[in-house]
Amino acid sequence: MSVAALPSLESLHRRCAKRTRDIFASESGDLLQEDESSSRVRLAIKIRDEYRDYKELPPALLSQQGPVGPSKPGGPSRKMITAGETNDTRIIATIDKTPVSQPSTFSSNTNLSQALALHKTTRTVKPTYHPPWKLVRVISGHLGWVRSVAVEPGNKWFATGAGDRVVKIWDLASGELKLSLTGHISTVRGLAVSARHPYLFSCGEDKMVKCWDLESNKVIRHYHGHLSGVYALSLHPTLDILVTAGRDASARVWDMRTKAPIHVLAGHTGTVATVQCQDSEPQVITGSMDSTVRLWDLAAGKTRVTLTHHKKSVRAVVVHPTEYSFASASAGGNGIKKWKCPDGNFVFNFSGQEAIVNTLAVNSEGVFFSGGDNGTLTFWDYATGTPFQNMEDVPQPGSLEAEAGVFCSTFDQTGTRLITGGADKTIKVYAEQTQ
């Protein structure tokens, strides 16, 4: 049985192709030619129908185009990658008349770019040269850890408070003991000498805040109100007010003369370990064991800003004497941070001291000191955050090796001597090395 030969499909195919062209020629314009394949027709129509409205950005976005963007690889040394190209890819390349691509919309005038540029220029400033510091005097006399130190405005003497419950007055030039003040019944944690009155203020873990008259060397006022130990105090430079802070998670503002409480600065959830006052906003700055630093509105008695950058307890805050900024310290490699007043804008980290930092001090020359719980002493350039000297606190003979911690520090009024108190019960005086 023979099978009849099927007719050729060539003529049928030509006839169908001609009819297809007649149908789409009016819409496709000059895209289609006599010899175009059906796949080309399909792709051309798909590009036109689906992507016609997306080949160009809307005018609103085009106006935001900036000059910055990744450069397009090119040049005579570059070769195009042609491997793996399909037939469809080549067809799309010939059909798609896409406009020339515009540069990236990530323009250089965005806030992020400005911040990155500012950060880069800030960190690349060359640090100022500071002479190295050396230990020039060790003063013994306390029977407990030296927890607080303050220099009087005339720069003749300084006071220290310790775990032996005694406040001692020392001659700054000779280091001789001039006076011992007794009255506290627990560790003396904070001291301040008034620049406008003959008064010395002290506070301690016995919840007491005392005002000593330096003309009669007696306590003339007590400030009652704290519910637990008082860890820090600070005097306002221009107003007759005293700010104290302690383990009851509050800072209290007192009228120096009448002993009346003005504000209770509440908001911290842990011990307030340090407090500083300045005559411009923010007038009160506190650091707490809840890992936060708070800037306070003194008139309203409320928090202005809460800084939550620290990961661990904030044990020290220091205000720069001339620059409108301050620094705070906690534990860890990035534990010391610099802030800009009045809003507490973060500036940079002082990186490198892997210790619990108990105390900070800064002078008007830009020498910034930090003392660690493990006895490490670091001197930094305050403007750039660059450490220029590292030292180890050597405990006095007879002390344990673990008693090398530094608890308190302050520069004298000239900024040329640094006084520290430590766990070996001594007071150490450092000075710049002269050539």
For position 214, which CATH number holds? 2.130.10.10
Asked whether residue 313 carries a pLDDT value surpassing 50, the answer given is yes
Q: CB-based burial of residue 93 (10 Å sphere; 0-12 exposed, 13-18 middle, 19+ buried)?
A: exposed
Q: Are 251 and 231 in contact (CB under 8 A)?
A: no
Work out whether the CA dihedral 274, 289, 245, 206 comes out positive or negative. Answer: negative
pLDDT digits (tens, 9 = 90+) for 158-186: 999 999 999 999 999 999 999 999 999 99
Q: How many domains does the chain have?
A: 1
Q: Which of 143, 144, 141, 133 is nearest to 158 (CA)?
A: 141
Average pLDDT over residues 318-327: 92
Assigned token pair, 188: 């003396």
Q: How do the residues of the chain divide into helix, strand and coil, expressed in percent and rounded to 5?
A: 15, 40, 45
Is residue 15 in some structural domain? no
CA–CA dist 179, 432 (Å, integer)? 28
- Quick one: pLDDT at residue 404? 84
Alpha-carbon distances, residue 239 vs 278, 332, 400 (angstroms):
10, 36, 44
Is residue 317 in some structural domain? yes
Comparing 100 with 165, the larger pLDDT belongs to 165
Q: Domain of 267?
A: 136-432
Average pLDDT over residues 259-283: 92
pLDDT digits (tens, 9 = 90+) for 214-270: 999 999 999 999 999 999 999 999 999 999 999 999 999 999 989 999 999 999 999
Is residue 119 in some structural domain? no
Q: Which residues fall within 8 angstroms of residue 5, CB to CB, at 6 or more apart? A: none
Q: Which of 91-100, 111-120, 129-138 is least confident?
A: 91-100
Comparing 19 with 6, the larger pLDDT belongs to 19
CA–CA dist 320, 91 (Å, integer)? 69
For the question of whether the overall pTM of this predicted structure is more than 0.75, the answer is no
Is residue 145 in some structural domain? yes
Work out the number of other CB atoms within 10 angstroms of the CB of residue 294.
Answer: 25
* Reported confidence tier of residue 127, pLDDT bands at 50, 70, 90: confident
- Quick one: pLDDT at residue 253? 95
Is residue 81 in some structural domain? no
- Quick one: pLDDT at residue 98? 56
CA–CA dist 328, 308 (Å, integer)? 12
Asked whether residue 287 carries a pLDDT value surpassing 60, the answer given is yes
- Quick one: pLDDT at residue 21? 77
Comparing 104 with 416, the larger pLDDT belongs to 416
Is residue 20 in some structural domain? no
The pLDDT > 70 percentage for the chain reads 82
Phi, psi at residue 301, to the nearest 5°?
75, 30
Assigned token pair, 260: 């009346």
Is residue 150 in some structural domain? yes
Is residue 26 in some structural domain? no
